[in-house]
Amino acid sequence: MFPPIPNPPVAPTSPGFSDKDLIRRSASSVPAPATRQTEVAKLIDVSKCIGCKACQAACIEWNDTHQAIGVNVGVYDNPADLTPEMFTLMRFSEWENPQTNNLEWLIRKDGCMHCEDPGCLKACPAPGAIVQYANGIVDFVHDNCIGCGYCVKGCPFDIPRISKVDHKAYKCTLCSDRVAVGQGPACQKACPTQAIVFGTKDEMKEWADFRIKDLKSRGFENAGLYDPPGVGGTHVMYVLHHADKPEIYANLPRNPTISPLVELWKGVGKYVGLGVMGLAAAAAVVHHLVAGANRVSPEDEANAEKLTEGRHS
Amino acid sequence: MNMELSRRAFLLTAGAGVAGTALGAFGFGDVEAAYAAAIRPFKLVNTTETRNTCTYCSVACGIILYSKGDLRKGETAEITYIEGDSDHPTNRGTLCPKGAALLSIVKSKTRLTYPMVRRPGSDRFERISWDEALDKIVRVLKDDRDKNFIALNEAGVTVNRWVTSGILAASATTNETAFATYKVMRSTGMLAFDNQARV
Amino acid sequence: MTSDDGDRPYDVQPGDDVHPGKPVTVDRYTVGARINHWITAVSLVLLALSGLSMFHPSLFFLTVLFGGGQWTRAIHPWIGVVLFFSFAGLFIRFWKANLWRSEDNTWLRRIRDVLAGDEEKLPELGKYNAGQKFVFWGMSALIIILIGSGIVVWDEYFYPFTSIEQKRIAILVHAAAAVVIICVWIVHVYAAIWVRGTIGAMTKGRVTGGWAWRHHRKWLRELVGKRVVGKTSAS
Amino acid sequence: MTNSWTDIRNTDLVVIMGGNAAEAHPCGFKWVTEAKANRGAKLIVVDPRFNRSASVADFYAPIRQGTDIAFLLGLINYCMLNDKVQWDYVKTFTNASFLVKEGFTYRDGLFTGYDEQKRDYDRATWEYEIGPDGYAAVDETLQHPRSVWTLLKQHVAMYTPELVERICGTPRDKFLAVAQMVSECSSPTKTMTSMYALGWTQHSKGSQNIRTMAMLQLILGNIGVRGGGMNALRGHSNIQGLTDVGLLSNSLPGYMNLATDREPDLAAYMSTRGFRPLRPNQTSYWQNYRKFLVSFLKSMWGPAATAQNDFGFDWLPKLDVPNYDILRAFELMKQGKMTAYLCQGFNPLQAFPNKAKLVEGLSKLKLLVVMDPLETETARFWENHGIYNDVDTAAIQTEVIQLPTTCFAEDEGALVNSGRWLQWHWPGGTPPGEAQPDTWIMAQIHLRLKALYRTEGGAFPDPILNLHWPYKDPGLPTPEELTKEMNGYIVADVPDPADPAKKLLEAGKQVANFGQLRDDGSTACGCWIFAGSFTEAGNMMARRDNADPDDTGAYPNWSFSWPANRRILYNRASADINGKPWDPSRKLLEWDGQRWTGYDVPDIAPNAKPRDVGPFIMNAEGVGRLFARGMMRDGPFPVHYEPFESPVANVIAPKVRGNPVARVFADDFAQFADVASPEFPYAATSYRLTEHFHYWTKNNHVNAVLQPEFFVEISEELAKEKGVAKGGWVRVWSKRGSVFAKAVVTKRIKPMICDGKTIHIVGIPIHWGFVGAAKKGFPANVLTPFVGDANIETPEFKAFLVNLEASTGPASV
């Protein structure tokens, strides 16, 4: 068993990281030097998950969200999708394994992956609305959020949701308030089978190896860790029994990257754009200096008068 | 007395795999550090902890109630959060979706707060005082017992039973409540006396 | 209007008229046209400012003009709607006068003379020259692209109707189109400044005969020829 | 549980059958995933549905609900035929070698002595042959034609893999795969644990379901060892405690039972409870019965309980029928024979079968009292909620009193978990409004009743007036006062026989253990199995030392485990006849030549020599029973009986309908669908979902979010056949009622072929009703049949018949 993290402190404790521990800040730069802290990670072992939704309940209770009561749409997934009030969600897939002809009920806890290279942060136009702490946590700063939804387009995992109430973006914070005092996120604390564990990223990889060995011994020869390099790795990782087919787990992207469109738009795009506009303006100025004003001459007026002579309106 | 157990917990007796997380180690540098703009101040600070047991299934997970105010000091206490007890051998701090939402059952909009009576044929509950309610109940019980108590059966054997009123004992109450209930009800000779063991 | 290009009625528009005198004055835009233009102009500027504030971090400060980021995000699309309808008005007014003519090709071929201001080397032009027509059609096309792509990324009302990938394309197109339309706008504004006497057309509604003679002689001749097409003049 | 949640980590094979631990007990299920991760243990799930437990199982086998006995007898047969038996264990720790009386027979699904009129057996022949020495005769070779082993072999022989497939619908190869994995655990160094719950109890033969697995576990040598055992997951916290304290119509605390009309006095009552050992030297712990009973009576009536009045034996009621369980209570209500009914918590209108009958019963009461922290359907049964509760409010003359009680977070005391741990908890919050603890309510009722009897007199007031009520505040006994009573205390000094000058026991002190209890009235003890929970050393249930020497999972100093802080029952059986652990790596107890040492409190005397005393000390035989004698109403061996509502006839005994001795009230029989009824072609089963707890969490917004609306689960095949769309509405009806539900169409349920017939399964979760935060919906008990288990009357919720059609939903009605 992964040793439990001791119960939370109730005495005032100073946070383990703060604004001066930012390594990335949306639409702005971080005050150097941004020194790296020990990276944290949440490991979700799908092969141990029983889909009980304790993580969802714990998330709601800790973050004081108010998800509305929905309806049954013919599946166990409730709510049917992530919402501004539901930061994490069990997604259930019924998959018949072609090799064994056995049914496998694959249950994946969806939510923010806390990418090392966060697409949301890259896309965000509001300075400081999205930050990445030195321990890897990607967090939304709601005071700075303008609700444009660019983060939604920047995210390779379709995670952020915009609130219809306050028009701000919401997602899992990895319980930054808990991690700040040495706790794990609420979902991890609750998880009955320890399908969710939390610690430093190195520990999590070590633990994942331990789990993958067990899975391989049970015939899941493709068991593996999901820590996609396309986004520089993530601070939420999965152990999958079929790591060769991430898409069978409710469309987990095979090789997620920040969309090239977003890269183009938020990369060269914005510089080229400014450049082009600048050039146009400059060209005008230069032309005026060279060519000077294009003035109507007295002759022109005279010609006009001549043309209109004798005609009375 | 329940608070004295040290929090060393299971870190000493870690199971297989890695030997406990180094969480405490990362980040903690500057003691003066203020919470970052995005980080909520830790909401359990200055709450009172009370060890309790989850009310639902018989796994009986250990939980900690966090409250504003301390009953042990004779104050009124409002429970503000409930979380699993990491020191508990069975659940190790974990909770199921019911346990993880215990706070919302304690604070449920449909908690009962006052004695109510629904009069015969009426379509609503009306408030009633505890005294009135208890006297009504005892009156009905006694009248029925006096009327239908069986001291001797046909064969003349002393049987001292009462089978025209009954009780369904709780399943979520303590052993102590159970024993008080047993004494009070059995002493009346009541036989239609059951609990939820079956469902 | 069946006669051939040479002497067929030209693109004189309702309200265009010439008043002999010293100097000659020519009515170029009606009050309606001018109000319509300036609504469009103001919307376009506001759109550019709000858009730019969300386009590049260095311009985020512009959001203060709109009462902060939340307001900027909320207002931008609505201004877009205003622009769209306002410009539609202009389109209905001016599209006919902006139809392409043979002399426009000549004009384009002699673009060096245009830039040098040697009008005498250019053919006589109607109400608009090729440059203005280019601005007109450019704006028209770009505004359609912008309103279209804008609606796709207007999450508050249209989020469910497109995929995230479609939204990504839309927002890229939107940004690109915005850059282009701003450039077009720069050309438009600069031309109005460079060619002195032009701005009055959109403020007072009038230009001098000399201006008309110099830049849109064919149009002036027609006005003088009193062969008003399209009827109901402001006279 | 014979073992504990934390002990499951020690197992090699987990068999989840008749339960769904991952769904209903997620935090306990953690120890299954731990055993898998750390010991390479395997998990087998046998269930009609591919459920949440199956989602992490190594092997899943489907089974038609209500056919578990056939499957399990098939496993026993497989083990016997393939020599997969832990012989040393079977020979020394079970009654395999015991000889059964002449005249005992079994034929066509019935044993000797059946009386069709009474629906009961004369169990006279279901006994051992008693030898000239007064002890049960045995044949160590097991070869005797009337040895239990021989009889069992004959009894199970018919349950071949082919027959199992025919009855259960489990494909032969899947059954054999399970049998192979299970039989491996006959090795002394491999253990299997059985995790079961209501999936086995809620049948008309629920007790025999469990017993069959217990027999298999004895044959494999898995009882009393670490990582083994029969582990009932149990339902509510604290239903284990309520049962321990005997809140059942026929029970006394600590698993003693009430006298019947045939036992007029204490002597007669005790005469059938002598429990003299059936083999030499056996403990037969129930020989102490009289001590426990007298001590209990002393705790009830204190000084008024004297030797002269049989310690108040006559102040306890006597039973004229086996029990007055809740099904009988509602039958009596329906017949208009009940005046007042008190519901202390709980929500019977949702929780017992045939809602229509329940409403009819409640409507005939004069008074219904509901004590609960939450709104319940029961308290509002008279309220019209349209199609969800279509009653004629004005016509219902029942007066209903609803009393607000405190909840777990606001009260103090002990709860018993599945592993028999008594864990103390403390209040953390102030109750809302005028909510009061149940102890206060009970005290108030007693004091008021006593006052009325004092002033008015009335029917036999003695037991009420004399009830021992020694509490500091009579109006509010404290949990500590009550629990000290249950632990037991010394009433009068007992001199030390060795030295009369010394006191063996000193009046006023708490007893240290039930060994100190006496039958002369000098001790009082409310619940003998709890003795030791609150001693002179303090509250043992409040102990919170989670140290666990050598990681055995015992946690000996965490709270208190009854009996005597024993963590694993029958732990003597963890070692062989010489006292050596079967599996040294899983040592629990070991005989060191002088005494038993190890990680647990031995259930036999610490110095009792290994060869002398058997481990099953509560049995007069001292061994485990493969042959149950007359202890079970429906047979000393289990037999496959179909549910009362079955899609196929019983292939081994076509004439037998359901369990032949299950009690069925006349009107209810009329409300059963016929066997293989074309009117009700589908085999339905009801169950819990992990997101909800019974009918409470409807009141919890968060749980309502996680599972908002009533649904049923059907296979893609049935959905196709019936034109049902995923998430669409269906109507489901039984002979007792009709419900509308959303359809969850799933691959996790597949049609089964039983006796050549395709059987479609309809899964029905139980959690919805007409009060609370969740969407209004129907409870499953609108559909379920009103019949219970033959031995303990647990309703048959797991197997019944329904019909189903696509629908436009309740709105269209």
D83 by DSSP, 3-state: which? coil
pTM: 0.94
The C-alpha of A211 sits at a distance from chain C's nearest C-alpha, in angstroms, of: 35
Mean pLDDT of chain C: 90
CB contact under 8 A, D707 and A78: yes
The band of C226, judged by pLDDT with boundaries at 50, 70 and 90, is low
Which chains have 3+ CB pairs within 8 A of D? Answer: A, B
Query: Looking at beta carbons, which residues of chain D come within 8 Å of B2?
Result: 424, 426, 542, 544
Residue D707 forms contact with A (CB below 8 Å): yes
The C-alpha of D637 sits at a distance from chain B's nearest C-alpha, in angstroms, of: 23
Query: Looking at beta carbons, which residues of chain B come within 8 Å of D690?
Result: 96-98
φ/ψ bin of C108: left (φ > 0), alpha (ψ from -120 to 50), beta (otherwise): alpha
* More confident call, D471 vs C227: D471
Q: Say whether pLDDT at B14 is over 90.
A: no
The band of A311, judged by pLDDT with boundaries at 50, 70 and 90, is low
Q: Say whether pLDDT at D281 is over 80.
A: yes
Among residues C37, C76, C188, C215, which one is catalytic?
A: C188
Which chains have 3+ CB pairs within 8 A of C? Answer: A
* More confident call, D146 vs A2: D146
Average pLDDT for D584-605: 95
| Second CATH level (architecture) for the domain D666-812 | Beta Barrel (2.40)
CB contact under 8 A, A54 and B17: no
Touch A-D: 3+ C-beta pairs under 8 A? yes
For residue A154, the chain C residue with the least C-alpha distance is C168
Residue A165 forms contact with B (CB below 8 Å): no
CB contact under 8 A, A2 and B18: yes
Beta strands at A40-45 and A236-240: parallel, antiparallel or unpaired:
parallel
Q: Say whether pLDDT at B30 is over 80.
A: no
Average pLDDT for B87-105: 97
Average pLDDT for D484-491: 98
Say what the ipTM of the complex is: 0.94
pLDDT at D46: 98
Strand order through the sheet with D13-17: D59-61, D42-46, D13-17, D192-196, D230-232
Lowest mean pLDDT across A69-78, C107-116, D483-492: C107-116
pLDDT at B39: 86
A200 vs B22, B33, B41: nearest CB: B22
The band of C11, judged by pLDDT with boundaries at 50, 70 and 90, is confident
Query: Looking at beta carbons, which residues of chain C come within 8 Å of A153?
Result: 153, 164, 167-168, 171
B14 vs A3, A54, A144: nearest CB: A3
Average pLDDT for D435-446: 98
**Tokens read off for A236:** 């939420």
A94 CB contacts (<8 Å, ≥6 apart)?
Answer: A103, A104, A105, A106, D746, D747, D748
Average pLDDT for C79-102: 95
Name the residue among D215, D202, D225, D114 with its Cα closest to residue D156.
D215
CB contact under 8 A, B23 and A40: yes
Q: Say whether pLDDT at B5 is over 50.
A: no
Average pLDDT for D397-405: 98
A11 is in an annotated binding site: no
Residue B21 forms contact with A (CB below 8 Å): yes
Q: What is the per-residue pLDDT across A51-104, written as a single tens digit (0 to 9) for each?
A: 999 999 999 999 999 999 999 999 999 999 999 999 999 999 999 999 999 999
Buried b (16+ CB within 10 A) or exposed e, D731-762: bbbbbbbebbbbbbbbebbbbbebbeeebbbb
A187 is in an annotated binding site: yes
Cis peptide before D432 (omega within 30 of 0): no
pLDDT at C1: 36
Q: What is the per-residue pLDDT across D327-373, written as a single tens digit (0 to 9) for each?
A: 999 999 999 999 999 999 889 999 999 999 999 999 999 999 999 99
Percent of chain B with pLDDT over 90: 75
A103 CB contacts (<8 Å, ≥6 apart)?
Answer: A94, A95, A96, A97, D50, D60, D747, D748
Q: Say whether pLDDT at B10 is over 50.
A: no
Residue A188, phi then psi, degrees to nearest 5: -65, -40
The angle that helices D438-456 and B175-186 make with each other, rounded to 10 degrees, is 20
Mean pLDDT of chain A: 95
**Tokens read off for D811:** 């709105």
Q: Say whether pLDDT at B13 is over 50.
A: no
Query: Looking at beta carbons, which residues of chain B come within 8 Å of D693?
Result: 56-57, 98
Sign of CA dihedral A239, A244, A247, A253: positive
Q: Say whether pLDDT at D293 is over 60.
A: yes
The C-alpha of B103 sits at a distance from chain A's nearest C-alpha, in angstroms, of: 8
Q: Say whether pLDDT at D779 is over 60.
A: yes
For residues C67 and C89, the answer to whether their CB atoms sit within 8 Å is no
Q: Where are the domains of chain D?
A: 5-235+622-631, 666-812
Query: Looking at beta carbons, which residues of chain A come within 8 Å of D747?
Result: 94, 96, 103
Q: What is the per-residue pLDDT across B140-192, written as a single tens digit (0 to 9) for each?
A: 999 999 999 999 999 999 999 999 999 999 889 999 999 999 999 999 999 99
Domain B39-106, CATH among 1.10.230.10, 1.10.20.10, 3.40.50.2300, 2.20.25.90: 2.20.25.90
Q: Report chain D's C-alpha Rg in angstroms.
A: 27
Percent of chain D with pLDDT over 70: 100
| Second CATH level (architecture) for the domain D5-235+622-631 | 3-Layer(aba) Sandwich (3.40)
Using the structure block, give the residue that is written with the tokens 């006497």.
C197
Name the residue among A113, A137, A104, A115 with its Cα closest to residue A18.
A137
For residues D743 and D730, the answer to whether their CB atoms sit within 8 Å is yes
A293 is in an annotated binding site: no
pLDDT at B190: 98
Residue C96 forms contact with A (CB below 8 Å): no
Name the residue among B199, B56, C200, A243 with its Cα closest to residue D691.
B56
**Tokens read off for D697:** 């969490």
A53 is in an annotated binding site: no
Mean pLDDT of chain D: 97
**How close are the terminal C-alpha atoms of chain C, in Å?**
23
Q: Where are the domains of chain B?
A: 39-106, 116-198
pLDDT at D9: 96
CB contact under 8 A, D56 and A73: no
For chain D positions 695-734, those within 8 Å of chain B (CB to CB) are: 696-697, 699-703, 706
The band of B199, judged by pLDDT with boundaries at 50, 70 and 90, is confident
Q: List the CATH code of the domain at C30-178.
A: 1.20.950.20
Q: Say whether pLDDT at C228 is over 70.
A: no
D325 by DSSP, 3-state: which? coil
The C-alpha of B59 sits at a distance from chain D's nearest C-alpha, in angstroms, of: 6
Q: What is the per-residue pLDDT across D499-548, written as a single tens digit (0 to 9) for each?
A: 989 999 999 999 999 999 999 999 999 999 999 999 999 999 999 999 99
Touch C-B: 3+ C-beta pairs under 8 A? no
Interface A-D: count of C-beta contacts within 8 A? 124
pLDDT at D587: 96
If one counts every other C-beta atom within 10 angstroms of the C-beta of residue D727, the result is 17
Q: What is the per-residue pLDDT across A246-275, written as a single tens digit (0 to 9) for each?
A: 999 999 999 999 999 999 999 999 999 999
What are the helix (H) ranges across chain A? Answer: 54-63, 119-123, 150-154, 176-179, 186-190, 201-217, 260-264, 270-291, 298-308
CB contact under 8 A, B171 and D234: no
pLDDT at A33: 62
φ/ψ bin of D130: left (φ > 0), alpha (ψ from -120 to 50), beta (otherwise): beta
pLDDT at B196: 78
For residue A108, the chain D residue with the least C-alpha distance is D55
pLDDT at A36: 85
Rounded Cα gap, residues C135 and C174, in angstroms: 18
A259 is in an annotated binding site: no
What are the helix (H) ranges across D716-794? Answer: 716-722
- Residue C174 is among the residues annotated as catalytic for this protein: no
A155 is in an annotated binding site: yes
The residue of B152, B168, B185, B190 whose CB has the most chain D CBs within 10 angstroms, and thus the best one to mutate to test that interface, is: B168
Name the residue among D670, D689, D714 with its Cα closest to residue D803.
D714
pLDDT at B15: 37
CB contact under 8 A, B37 and A14: no
D274 by DSSP, 3-state: which? coil
The residue of A82, A153, A165, A286 whose CB has the most chain C CBs within 10 angstroms, and thus the best one to mutate to test that interface, is: A153
pLDDT at C119: 86
Q: What is the per-residue pLDDT across A107-135, written as a single tens digit (0 to 9) for each?
A: 999 999 999 999 999 999 999 999 999 99
* More confident call, A311 vs D738: D738
Query: Looking at beta carbons, which residues of chain B come within 8 Å of D238?
Result: 58, 60, 171-175, 178
For residue B155, the chain D residue with the least C-alpha distance is D261
Residue A10 forms contact with D (CB below 8 Å): no
A214 is in an annotated binding site: no
* More confident call, D442 vs B11: D442
